[in-house]
Chain A
Amino acid sequence: MTAEQTTANATANTPDTTAVPGQRARTPRVRGRLVVTFLAALTGCGALLALAMGSSEIALPEIIAATAGQGDSGTVFIVQQLRLPRVLAALAVGAALGASGLLLQGLLRNPMASPDVIGVTSGASLATVVAIGAAVPPLGLPVAAACGAGIATTLLQVINSRTSAAGSRLVLIGIGLHAAASAGVALTMARLPIGRLGAAEVWLAGSLHARNWVHVTAATIGLAVALPAAFWLLRRLAVLELGDDLAIGAGVPVRRTRAGLLAFSAVLAGIAVAVAGPIAFVALGAPHIARRIVGPTRAATLTAAVLIGAFLVLAADVIGQRLFAPTALAAGVVTAALGAPYLLWLLHRMGRR
C-alpha cells in the first residue's frame, strides 16, 4: 500500500501479502510497479533510438553489435565514442535532476520548488563561468560546477540555520541566492575575453554536445553515492511531509533529515550541472509528473522521477539535434521550451483548486 512495501514485498513476505484483508494494499503497489516497468522500457527504447539516430543512420542490430565492439571500426567508433557517452550522459543528468527535484519538493513541501529556483543551479553556473574566465581546461569545468553547487547549498544551510527551519524561508533565501548568482554570471560574462565568451555561452545553454566517457564515469560515480542516499532518506521524507511536529513524534530526526535532503538534492543537481550545464524544467517537471502518476512519496515515486527525468533529457537532446538538423539546439533550450507551457498549465490548475 505504500511505497516502501513495494520493495519489501518484492523480495519476501508473499504469504503476508496474500493475508492482507481486502484489496486496498494491492492496487497502488501494483500500479507503481507497472508504471516503473513501463517507464524503464520507454527510456530503454528511447536510448536505443537515440543511438540509432544521427548524421549517419545506423540500423538497430548494428548499433547493438557496435556497443559490444563488433562491426566495422567506423561504426564502432561512432557508437562507442560519440553516441553512447552522449546518451548515457543525458540519462545520468536527467536521473540526477529528477531525484534532486523530488527530494527538494518534498523537503520544502512545495511542488514548484526545484534546484533552479533556490539558487543551487545558478551557483554552479557562476562557478563554471568564472572557471571559464580563468581558462580552466574543459575537464575542470564539472569540478568547478560541483564546487559552485556545494557552496550555494552551504550558504543556503548556514543562512537558513540562523533563522528558523521553515520551508518558505528557505525558498526565499534560495530566490535571493539565485538572483545574486545570476547577477554574478551576467557580470562575469561581461568581463570575459571575446575568445572565451563562446564556450561560456554554450555551457550556459545546457548542452550535451561532445560529452565523453570522463563525464559519464564522473556522473555514474556521483549517482552511485547520491541515489542510494536518496532512497535511504525517502521514508523519513514520507513522514516529514506530514509536518515537522508529527515527524518528530514518529521518530524522524527532523533537523538531520532536512540537512540530508538539502545536501543530497544539491549533490544530485550538482552532478547534472557539472555534466551538462543548467538544464531547466526537468528537476521541476519530472518529480511532478511522477507524483501525478504514482502518487505520494514512496520508492516507486522516486524511481519514476529518476526515469522520467532521464527520458526527458534524452528526448530533449534528440529533439534538439534532429528538429532543425543540421543546426543543433542545446538540450537545455528544448527543455526550457517544453517546460514553459507545462508550467503555465500547472499554474492554471493550481489556480483553479
Chain B
Amino acid sequence: MTPPQLRAENLTVAYGDRPVLDSIDIEIPSQAITAIVGPNGCGKSTLLRAMGRVLTPRAGAVLLDAEPVHRLSTRAVARTLGLLPQSNVVPEQLTVADLVVRGRYPHRGAFGRWSTTDQRAVDEALAATGTTELADRLVDELSGGQRQRAWIAMVLAQQTPILLLDEPTTYLDLAHRIEILRLLRTLNTHHGVTVVMVLHDLDEASRYADHLIALRDGAITAQGDPREIVTPTLVETVFGVTCTTIPDPITGTPLIIPLDAAHDTHPASAG
C-alpha cells in the first residue's frame, strides 16, 4: 500500500476578517519528518490545525490523497491522520489506559466491540511510548514528560500513517524534549509514520526534521531540507534575528548562533 499523501493547495484561513494563512501551497513528504517553524503568531499552529481539519479554510483545501479533508467523513480521516493538539483536557480520574483506549474511537464507532486488533493497538502504543508501566496511573498525576508520552500514545493507538503534532515539546525540560523527539524519530524510521510537527526551537527542528517549512506572516518563506535552507539570511527574514550558523558537531545539521548586538557593546566583553 502506498503511503497517503497530504498536501495543501491555495490554503487560506482567516479568523473573522483577519487572514492568518494566505494562499499556502505545501506538499508534506511521505514517511518523513516535517517541522513547521516561525515566530509567534506567524500561523504555524493554524496551518497544522487546518491540515488536521480543525479549522475550515476560507479558500483552497487540504488534500488527503487528492480528496479535500473537509468533504471526507471525519471518522475515515481519523484513521489516516492523527492529531495531537497543543492543549488538551484531562478529565478527573482518567488513567493512561483509559486515555489510550479513547484513541481507538475512529476504528470502533459508537457500539463496535473491543477486538484483538484494538487491544494490540493499545498495547503497542503504550510500549512504543514507554508508558506500559504507567497504564494504571492517573494522567493528572504524571510529570510533564510522562503526560506528553501518554497523549502521544493515545494518538498512536489511532494507528494512522500520518501524525500531526502541535508543539509536542513545549513546556518540557531538555531531557523530556529530546525523549519526545527521539520517540517521533523512532516512529518515523521503524514504522514509516509521516510526522508533521510545529516546533519552537530551530536547532531542534534542524536536527530532527527531514523537511522544514518556515512561515512568516501567514506565508511560506522557505521550505526544504534544513541543511540547505537554514541560513543566516533565512533566520534574519523569518525571525528578524541576525545570526551565524555552524554545523552541529554530531549531526552536521545547522546550529543557530545569534549575533547579539547588546553583547558587542557590553562593557565586560567590549573591554
A binds B: yes
Contact between A235 and B105, CB atoms less than 8 A apart: yes
Q: B81, B90, B113: which contacts A11 (Cβ < 8 A)?
A: B113
Say whether B99 faces chain A, with CB atoms less than 8 Å apart.
yes
Query: Of residues B84, B106, B109, B113, which shows the largest number of chain A Cβ atoms within 10 Å of its Cβ?
Result: B113
State how many angstroms separate the Cβ of A60 from the closest Cβ of chain B: 38
Say whether B89 faces chain A, with CB atoms less than 8 Å apart.
yes
Query: Of residues A2, A22, A242, A249, which shows the largest number of chain B Cβ atoms within 10 Å of its Cβ?
Result: A249
When A5-B114, A246-B84, A249-B52 are in contact, do A291 and B79 touch as well, CB less than 8 Å?
no
Q: A13, A24, A250: which contacts B103 (Cβ < 8 A)?
A: A250
Q: B75, B91, B101, B132: which contacts A1 (Cβ < 8 A)?
A: B101
When A248-B83, A251-B75 are in contact, do A28 and B114 touch as well, CB less than 8 Å?
no
A2 to B164, CA, bound (A): 26
Say whether B82 faces chain A, with CB atoms less than 8 Å apart.
yes
A1 proximity list for chain B (CB < 8 A): 95, 97-98, 101, 122, 135
A248 to B90, CA, bound (A): 16
A243 proximity list for chain B (CB < 8 A): 85, 87-89
A119 to B135, CA, bound (A): 40
Say whether B77 faces chain A, with CB atoms less than 8 Å apart.
yes
Interface membership of chain B positions 104-116, coded 1 if the CB is closer than 8 angstroms to chain A and 0 otherwise: 0110111111111
Say whether A221 faces chain B, with CB atoms less than 8 Å apart.
no
Say whether B210 faces chain A, with CB atoms less than 8 Å apart.
no
Say whether A20 faces chain B, with CB atoms less than 8 Å apart.
yes
Say whether A184 faces chain B, with CB atoms less than 8 Å apart.
no
Say whether A62 faces chain B, with CB atoms less than 8 Å apart.
no
Total count of chain B residues near the partner, CB < 8 A? 51
Contact between B102 and A239, CB atoms less than 8 A apart: yes
A292 to B164, CA, bound (A): 34
Q: Which of A78-125 contact B (CB under 8 A)?
A: 109, 111
Q: B77, B92, B111, B122: which contacts A251 (Cβ < 8 A)?
A: B77
State how many angstroms separate the Cβ of A233 from the closest Cβ of chain B: 8
Q: A2, A12, A296: which contacts B93 (Cβ < 8 A)?
A: A296
Say whether B59 faces chain A, with CB atoms less than 8 Å apart.
no
Q: How many A-B residue pairs have CB under 8 A?
A: 133
A12 to B95, CA, bound (A): 24
Say whether B129 faces chain A, with CB atoms less than 8 Å apart.
no
| Nearest opposing residue in chain B for A298, CB measure | B98
When A16-B114, A251-B74, A251-B106 are in contact, do A25 and B97 touch as well, CB less than 8 Å?
yes
Contact between A249 and B111, CB atoms less than 8 A apart: no
Taking A25-B97, A235-B108, A249-B164 as given, write out 7 further A-B residue pairs in contact, using a Cβ cutoff of 8 Å, ordered by the A residue number.
Answer: A1-B97, A4-B101, A5-B114, A8-B113, A242-B99, A246-B88, A251-B106
Say whether B180 faces chain A, with CB atoms less than 8 Å apart.
no
Query: Of residues B76, B101, B112, which shows the largest number of chain A Cβ atoms within 10 Å of its Cβ?
Result: B101
Say whether B259 faces chain A, with CB atoms less than 8 Å apart.
no
Say whether A297 faces chain B, with CB atoms less than 8 Å apart.
yes
Contact between A249 and B114, CB atoms less than 8 A apart: no
Say whether B221 faces chain A, with CB atoms less than 8 Å apart.
no
Contact between A28 and B95, CB atoms less than 8 A apart: yes
Q: Which of B61-80 contact A (CB under 8 A)?
A: 74-79
Q: A12, A24, A248: which contacts B74 (Cβ < 8 A)?
A: A248
Say whether B123 faces chain A, with CB atoms less than 8 Å apart.
yes
Contact between B116 and A16, CB atoms less than 8 A apart: yes
Q: A11, A233, A242: which contacts B102 (Cβ < 8 A)?
A: A242
A249 to B52, CA, bound (A): 6
A2 to B76, CA, bound (A): 23
Contact between A245 and B95, CB atoms less than 8 A apart: no
A13 to B77, CA, bound (A): 28
State how many angstroms separate the Cβ of B69 from the closest Cβ of chain A: 11
| Nearest opposing residue in chain B for A11, CB measure | B113
Contact between A241 and B91, CB atoms less than 8 A apart: yes
State how many angstroms separate the Cβ of A288 from the closest Cβ of chain B: 10
Say whether A253 faces chain B, with CB atoms less than 8 Å apart.
yes
B123 proximity list for chain A (CB < 8 A): 21
B99 proximity list for chain A (CB < 8 A): 242
A233 to B115, CA, bound (A): 20
B12 proximity list for chain A (CB < 8 A): none
Contact between A249 and B155, CB atoms less than 8 A apart: yes
A246 to B77, CA, bound (A): 13
Contact between B52 and A248, CB atoms less than 8 A apart: yes
State how many angstroms separate the Cβ of B150 from the closest Cβ of chain A: 11
B84 proximity list for chain A (CB < 8 A): 246, 249
Say whether B236 faces chain A, with CB atoms less than 8 Å apart.
no
A242 proximity list for chain B (CB < 8 A): 88-91, 99, 102, 154
A21 proximity list for chain B (CB < 8 A): 123
A251 to B157, CA, bound (A): 13
State how many angstroms separate the Cβ of A111 from the closest Cβ of chain B: 8
3 cross-chain pairs, A with B, having the tightest CB-CB distances, nearest first: A251-B78, A249-B83, A251-B106
Contact between A24 and B114, CB atoms less than 8 A apart: no
When A242-B99, A248-B53, A297-B91 are in contact, do A12 and B113 touch as well, CB less than 8 Å?
yes
B78 proximity list for chain A (CB < 8 A): 249-251
Say whether B178 faces chain A, with CB atoms less than 8 Å apart.
no
Say whether A236 faces chain B, with CB atoms less than 8 Å apart.
yes
Q: Which of A238-294 contact B (CB under 8 A)?
A: 238-239, 241-246, 248-253, 291-292
